[in-house]
Chain A
């Protein structure tokens, strides 16, 4: 079945370090891909998205490129801040049938000052 696999956390970085959180997916067809962020005590917020192969989603310094050949959607940021500490979820959304969204298990990021 369709699934999303993320690198396990927690990921601990110092401020201004480079961030990569790996995400790969398994799906039939051509899903849309998303990154959501969850800050402590809050619901999930959409961070960025890409709806077709080779699209690059970007927001708040984060970016991810939809790579169909490697079925990946890795999240990157050039210089993290303490305020980026949160849980990051990779997700795919089927574009047929009920358009169900399937989430990865999440990766917790800690950024130290």
Chain B
């Protein structure tokens, strides 16, 4: 079974530029998550989709971050314009179902973003 695919693996941009990350979840997984992992910290949830609807985006900085999951499959996270503090690893995860204590999330390898 193929895992969660993310691209690119690395991205370097200058502040105020825009950037986009792509995620393809495990086939059949209804729930998709985007996390931000700043160096030395644990992942922080940015947004959670159930199929193509948003379940939780309370920690997404909506003035500069946006995400979509068209057709309930793959997803794109965008930052525009980027700030220095956006430097982090962006992790995508998926799960078969989003609700319930037995939920298991599967993570991609992440995209490491450096904003100069």
Contact = CB atoms under 8 A, between A and B. Distances in A.
Given A42-B109, A45-B107, A99 B99 contact: yes
Contact of A104 (B42, B98, B103, B110): B42
- Please classify how large the interface on chain A is, using the bins under 10, 10 to 19, 20 to 34, 35 or more: 20 to 34
Nearest to B6: A43
Contacts of A57: none
Contact of A43 (B40, B45, B108): B108
Contacts of A106: 40-42
6 contacts: A41-B109, A46-B106, A91-B42, A100-B45, A101-B45, A106-B41
Interface of B: 3-4, 40-45, 48, 55-56, 91, 93, 98-110
Interface of A: 4, 32, 36, 41-46, 49, 51, 89, 91, 93, 95, 98-101, 103-106
